[in-house]
Amino acid sequence: GNSVTQMEGPVTLSEEAFLTINCTYTATGYPSLFWYVQYPGEGLQLLLKATKADDKGSNKGFEATYRKETTSFHLEKGSVQVSDSAVYFCALRVQAAGNKLTFGGGTRVLVKP
Amino acid sequence: DTGVSQNPRHKITKRGQNVTFRCDPISEHNRLYWYRQTLGQGPEFLTYFQNEAQLEKSRLLSDRFSAERPKGSFSTLEIQRTEQGDSAMYLCASSLDWTGDYGYTFGSGTRLTVV
């Protein structure tokens, strides 16, 4: 089946630090990969996506590269801000599986000033 | 368009009662999904609709759960004879195209507490 594994949190960082959240996946088929973010008290928002191998998704200073050889889609940001404090979810979608999303367990990130 | 709307935001119910949640997707989106998120976990797929047709149901969706999307617009999720294990955030999402490459838009969810 399809599954997503991401590093457990919480991850606590100081402002302007470098952030990496690891995400690996298993999929039956050729998945598209996503990162979603959930800010406190808000719904899930799409942060970035990549639909084929070696694609790089980017948004708001965050980046993730679709690595088929390592089945990974790690999220990175070079300099975090307090406003980046949130829960981040890695997810995949396989068209043959009805386009439903399979999520990882989420990683809580706390950025301190 | 104000996005995906879910009502109510919070629901507290006694064990054994029935509850119904509503989701209003973005008007032009033809796909609608229901997910369940328990505390500290990622969302888990429950079911989805293409227009008014319910195309897939997860094994997580027991016989006590039923979802409808009449006329391919809003959707309702009903839980009969609620149990404490049903306590969770119920999320609705919609998407425009069948590939989902435009991404899904999630609502803010309905938090259910069964006491």
Q: List the single best residue of A23, A39, A44 to mutate versus B (max B Cβ within 10 A).
A: A44
pLDDT on residue A77: 98
- Does B99 sit within 8 Å of A99, measured CB to CB? yes
pLDDT interval class at A92 (50, 70, 90):
very high
User: What distance in Å separates residue A85's CA from the closest CA in chain B?
Assistant: 16
- Does A44 sit within 8 Å of B42, measured CB to CB? no
Q: How far apart are CA B74 and CA A61, in angstroms?
A: 35
- Judge whether A4 is closer than 8 Å to chain B, CB to CB: yes
Question: Strand pairing of A86-93 and A56-59?
Answer: unpaired
| Residue of chain B nearest A43, judged by CA positions | B108
pLDDT on residue B89: 96
Chain A residues with beta carbon closer than 8 angstroms to that of B104: 46, 101
End-to-end CA distance of chain B: 35
Question: What is the DSSP track for A53-81?
Answer: TT-EEEETTEEEE-BTTTTB--EEESS--
Tens-level pLDDT at each residue, chain B (115 residues): 578 999 999 999 999 999 999 999 998 888 999 999 998 899 999 999 999 999 989 988 889 999 999 988 999 999 999 999 999 999 999 988 665 556 788 999 999 999 9
- Judge whether A89 is closer than 8 Å to chain B, CB to CB: yes
Residue B110, both tokens: 């309905």
Angle at A68 between CA A65 and CA A70, to 5 degrees: 90
pLDDT on residue B102: 61
- Per-residue pLDDT reduced to its tens digit, A34-77: 999 999 888 899 999 999 999 999 999 999 999 999 999 999 99
pLDDT interval class at A1 (50, 70, 90):
confident
| Residue of chain B nearest A34, judged by CA positions | B103
pLDDT on residue B100: 55
pLDDT interval class at A99 (50, 70, 90):
confident
Give B1 or A24, the one with higher predicted confidence: A24
